[in-house]
A = this chain, B = another copy of it.
Amino acid sequence: VTERKGVVVEAIRRIQPTDTAWRVRAKERLDTLTKPSGSLGRLEEIAARLCAIQETLSPTSSKRRVVVCAADHGVAAERVSAYPADVTAQMVANFVNGGAAINVLAKTADADVWVIDVGVAGPVEVRGTQIPFVSRPVREGTANMTQGPAMSEQEMLCAIMIGLEQADLAADDGVALLALGEMGIANTTAASAITSALTGVEPARVTGRGTGIDDQTLARKTHVIEQALALHSLRADAPFEILQTVGGLEIAALAGLCLGAARQRQAIVTDGFISTAAAMLAVCMCPSVADYLFAAHLSPEPGHAVQLDWLHQRPFLHLDMRLGEGTGAALALNIMGAACAAFTDMATFESAGVNGRR
């Protein structure tokens, strides 16, 4: 445990905040382009932040990768989901075989998809080999958080390290934009517990219908989260304890991915409720991670808006998406690509011979 903890602590120590001087320089360039100052709105902010992250005035938005981390959840035994737990392994196979929404949407965003099994219970039946599949189950799903900690400290650190490793691999491949994806039946329950623990907002306000549960199941799910939080009595400033007791293995891997991506100066694009919970944990572990985060979209899951407020993030897209997998994040990659292209490819007032303001 001590050795693994050392690796994570060292990764965190190496994360640098971005330098605002790059944003100022980027803004100066943006004001020379043929458009009224600020009129590209948040595209300008995205471009300036990419400049600061990459420390350049020639930012790039390629290449792009969606990392989908998957694991099962012991709390599924409390019947908190509309789907049986088998679906996790089946959907992971679907990702690897290229048939899921994330495969299709990532393709439209010119992004590749990596699928990481961090703790799926049961075997994954893989047919295709086009999609990189990393099989590194730390354990066969977490334990039931209402009975005890979801995982041991050792297991949590292993999962975080898998995420750190993925960020390093992405850096080796020259990835500039890294989108977070996840799969795990019952993982909105873990995400709600994490969100409540980090923000202090009561479980009922951050617990939603996930894949589409009925009123009775929603009431049970809320109660399960209250039970788990009562059992573990967590402090808001203890991200590792929160992650270990009420988190998930894929959430730990995604938190590690955020830390690793920030260390590698990659832009991190959050997706929905689960991946944003992971990003919050990473920010709580290291506040400078926030400099690398971009919120893709707003999910109808009620806790998502609470999370984005806590992160001081405004989502780009309002599409009522609640699938996860990284689907919303994939759509945002094109927006970030457009921001980057506008910054690098537009004519200036001078080069185009266009008059400025009166």
A: which residues have CB within 8 A of B? 33-43, 82-84, 86-87, 90-91, 93-94, 97, 99-101, 104-105, 107-109, 125, 211-212, 300, 314-323, 327, 330-331, 334-335, 337-338, 341-342, 345-347, 351-358
Contacts and interface: CB of A to CB of B under 8 A. Distances in A.
Given A84-B355, A319-B335, A101 B40 contact: yes
A331 B335 contact: yes
A99 B40 contact: no
Nearest to A351: B99
A314 to B, nearest CB: 7
12 contacts: A34-B100, A34-B101, A36-B82, A36-B83, A86-B355, A99-B347, A104-B342, A109-B338, A314-B318, A315-B318, A319-B335, A331-B334
Contact of A40 (B42, B82, B321): B321
A327 B33 CA distance: 14
A105 to B, nearest CB: 5
A91 B38 contact: no
Contacts of A353: 90, 93, 125
Nearest to A41: B320
A320 to B, nearest CB: 3
Contact of A319 (B41, B346, B351): B41
Nearest to A343: B104
A41 B358 contact: no
Contact of A37 (B93, B212, B300, B357): B212
A91 to B, nearest CB: 6
A103 B315 CA distance: 25
B39 A346 contact: no
Contact of A101 (B42, B100, B107, B346): B346
Contacts of A320: 41-42
Contact of A323 (B36, B94, B354): B36
Contacts of A87: 354-355
A38 B319 CA distance: 11
A86 B356 CA distance: 10
Contacts of A335: 317, 319, 331
A43 B321 contact: yes
A224 to B, nearest CB: 17
A347 B97 contact: yes
In the complex, the 5 A-B pairs of residues with the closest C-beta atoms, listed nearest first: A99-B347, A41-B320, A36-B211, A39-B323, A41-B321
Given A94-B354, A319-B43, A99 B327 contact: no
B41 A93 contact: no
Contacts of A108: 334, 337-338, 341
B321 A39 contact: yes
Nearest to A324: B39
Nearest to A36: B211
A146 B91 CA distance: 63
Contacts of A330: 338
A345 B102 CA distance: 11
A189 to B, nearest CB: 15
Given A34-B100, A34-B101, 4 more contacts: A33-B101, A39-B321, A43-B321, A319-B335
